Copies of this chain bind each other. A is one copy, B any other.
Amino acid sequence: MPTSDSLSNTFAALADPTRRAILARLASGETSVTELCRPFEMSMPAISKHLKVLERAGLITRGREAQWRPCRIEAAPLRDVAGWVEQYRQFWEQSFDRLELHLQEIQAAGGEAADKKKGAKKHVRN
């Protein structure tokens, strides 16, 4: 199944370093396709495909100005990524003990989460 949910599309679009470089370039301003091609050893059709992927993910929009097709970054999907990853912030900001405490609090709050692990805390991180 292609799973066309937008977060998957966004992550897939961001998984290519060429496309991230294009976004970085667009962060400093709208520009043409030919200009976007310049840094890469890649044919223009290849870049055109990358742009189509970025566009489908909503990460850029394309206009028309004479024979140029100026590309502009669109940040909404990036905001969604930031929102998604934010829910994991605790995992890299808190110490392990704080984290484990937090998880215990969550599970306690849940009432009776399926705690099928018998030995409880065998795997202590060094």
| Chain B residue, CB-CB nearest to A82 | B85
Q: Give how many A residues have a beta carbon under 8 Å from the other chain's beta carbons.
A: 49
Residue contact A106 to B28, C-beta cutoff 8 Å: yes
Contact with B along A46-63 (1 / 0, CB 8 A): 000000000000000001
Residues of B near A27 (CB, < 8 A) are 87-88, 91
CA distance A59 to B107 in the complex (A): 22
Chain B nearest CB from A38 CB (Å) reads 10
Residues of B near A76 (CB, < 8 A) are 92
Residues of B near A89 (CB, < 8 A) are 82
Residue contact A8 to B3, C-beta cutoff 8 Å: no
CB within 8 Å for A92 and B79 given contacts A17-B5, A106-B28:
yes
Chain B nearest CB from A108 CB (Å) reads 12
CA distance A14 to B91 in the complex (A): 16
Residue contact B86 to A73, C-beta cutoff 8 Å: no
Residues of B near A12 (CB, < 8 A) are 11-12, 15
Residue contact B106 to A78, C-beta cutoff 8 Å: no
Chain B nearest CB from A53 CB (Å) reads 12
Q: Can you list 6 A-B pairs, Cβ within 8 angstroms, ordered by A?
A: A8-B17, A12-B12, A27-B87, A27-B91, A75-B88, A78-B85
